[in-house]
């Protein structure tokens, strides 16, 4: 009997010829390492990322990003040629498959759509809580009060809001879930 780990190393029975997109499952936080290895083997790699904030400590104020799909990346390769190399790479858990353990190709249109929406491979979601936006507090002891967004604190998931309390504006940090655009 072949162990499950060794079964994953076998090439698929009816491997298609030609380059197609596939999803590779990786270990947690190994996406970048696996992507570099796959590129070294000659595969085209797409690792979409999402901006989660900015690093204000650096002189360039660079975006802080993380994988859009943690533990997964897209590779375009000839499965018959690269299956074993990619499967045996450190950090790889296997190819995404359903039922019969054959890797399932991803339609090129789906990858093209993701690439169109992510200039430079980074998704930048529109934050409704931009500085100057009017908001209403939905929950907590300040529920019902109106305020103005001072600055979003994306890393912590909180927003700095200016609320009119006792005839003066007071800066309060609140969870995003407790606010709605007014």
pLDDT, residue 1, reads 45
pLDDT, residue 50, reads 87
pLDDT, residue 63, reads 74
* Ranges under pLDDT 50 in the chain: 1-3, 6, 13-14
Beta strands 63-67; 146-153: pairing state = unpaired
End-to-end CA distance of the chain: 63
DSSP 105-134: EEPHHHHHHHHHTSGGGEE-PPPS--TT-E
Domain ranges of the chain: 4-123, 134-181
pLDDT, residue 113, reads 94
pTM of the predicted model as reported, rounded to 2 decimal places: 0.66
What are the respective helix, strand and coil percentages of the chain, to the nearest 5? 20, 40, 40
Q: Which CATH architecture has domain 134-181?
A: Roll (2.30)
Closest CA to 160 of 125, 131, 127, 126: 131
Are both 4-123 and 134-181 of the same fold? no
SS3 61: coil
Q: Which CATH architecture has domain 4-123?
A: 2-Layer Sandwich (3.30)
pLDDT, residue 9, reads 54
pLDDT, residue 16, reads 55
Question: CB neighbours of 47 closer than 8 A, spacing ≥ 6?
Answer: 31, 32, 35, 67, 73, 74, 121
pLDDT, residue 2, reads 45
């Amino acid at each position: 009997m072949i162990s499950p780990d060794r079964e994953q190393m076998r090439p698929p029975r009816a491997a298609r010829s030609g380059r197609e997109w596939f999803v590779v499952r990786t270990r947690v936080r190994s996406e970048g390492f696996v992507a570099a290895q796959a590129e070294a083997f000659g595969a085209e790699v797409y690792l979409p990322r999402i901006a989660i904030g900015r690093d204000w400590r650096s002189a360039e104020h660079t975006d802080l990003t993380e994988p859009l799909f943690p533990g997964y990346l897209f590779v375009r390769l000839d499965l018959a040629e690269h299956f074993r190399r990619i499967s045996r790479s450190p950090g790889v858990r296997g190819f995404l498959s359903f039922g019969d353990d054959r890797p399932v190709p991803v339609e090129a249109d789906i990858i093209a759509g993701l690439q169109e929406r992510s200039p430079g491979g980074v998704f930048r979601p529109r934050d409704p809580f931009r500085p100057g936006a009017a908001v209403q507090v939905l929950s907590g002891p300040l529920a019902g009060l109106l305020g103005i967004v001072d600055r979003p604190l994306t890393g912590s998931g909180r927003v700095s809001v200016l609320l009119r309390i006792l005839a003066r504006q007071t800066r309060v940090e609140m969870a995003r879930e407790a606010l709605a655009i007014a």
